[in-house]
Amino acid sequence: MAEPDKINPIRQTDDAARALARRLIEDARFAAIAVLEPETGMPLASRVAVAVERDGSPCLLISDLSGHSKALARDGRASLLFGEPGPKGDPLTHPRITVIGRLGKLDRSDPGHAARRDFWLEKHPKARLYIDFGDFHFWRLEIERANLNGGFGKAYALSAADLRPAK
C-alpha cells in the first residue's frame, strides 16, 4: 500500500520570516545556549547574555569558569535559542528561533575589543562589575543556519544569509 504524500511542514522563507527572525535575535538581551559536554558528549544548556553586532552576529560574554565555556573551548558547536514567551497564553505559540553555528573565543588583543566592550556595556550596563575580570571573554557565533518557529504552523528553515541585517 502506497504511503500518502507527506506535507512538508516547513514554509518557504519569505521577507516577513526573515524580518521576524532578525528582530527576535536583535532585540534579545539573553538567550539559552546548548553545547556538548566534553567529558560525556551529553547536551548542556544554560542562559547567556547576548548582544548582536552590526553584521548580525550574536556575541556573548562568558566566564572561563562556566561549564559551557569549558565545553566551547573543546568544541565550538552550539545553538542559541532566542524568544521570550508573552505574558498570556501558551508559551509554545510565541515566536522563537534557534540559531546554529560555531562559537569562537575573541582575544582581548583583537583591535575591535575596546569597541566591543563599549557596545556590550551599552546593552548590559551591570556587566561593568565583571567585564574586565581576567576570566571573562567575548565569544562570537559564526551562524550556519537557523530554525524559526513564528507561532503555530509557521516553521521556517533559514540560512546564515537570511539572518544578515537588511541593507
Q: Which residues contact 97 (CB under 8 A, 6 or more apart)?
A: 21, 24, 25, 81, 82, 83, 146, 147, 148, 149, 158
CA gap 159, 145 in Å, rounded: 5
Q: Is 18 left (phi over 0), alpha (psi -120 to 50) or beta?
A: alpha
For residue 153, name the pLDDT band (cuts at 50, 70, 90). Answer: confident
Q: Are 95 and 151 within 8 A, CB to CB? A: yes
Q: Which residues contact 66 (CB under 8 A, 6 or more apart)?
A: 46
Domain residue ranges in the chain: 10-84+91-160
50-62 pLDDT tens trace: 999 988 999 999 9
Report the CATH number of the 10-84+91-160 domain.
Answer: 2.30.110.10
108-152 pLDDT tens trace: 999 999 999 999 999 999 999 999 999 999 999 999 999 999 888
* pLDDT at 7 (0 to 100): 78
CA gap 122, 28 in Å, rounded: 14
* pLDDT at 3 (0 to 100): 62
Does position 4 have pLDDT exceeding 70, yes or no? no
To which H or E segment does residue 63 belong?
strand 58-63
17-76 pLDDT tens trace: 999 999 999 999 999 999 999 999 999 999 999 999 988 999 999 999 999 999 999 999
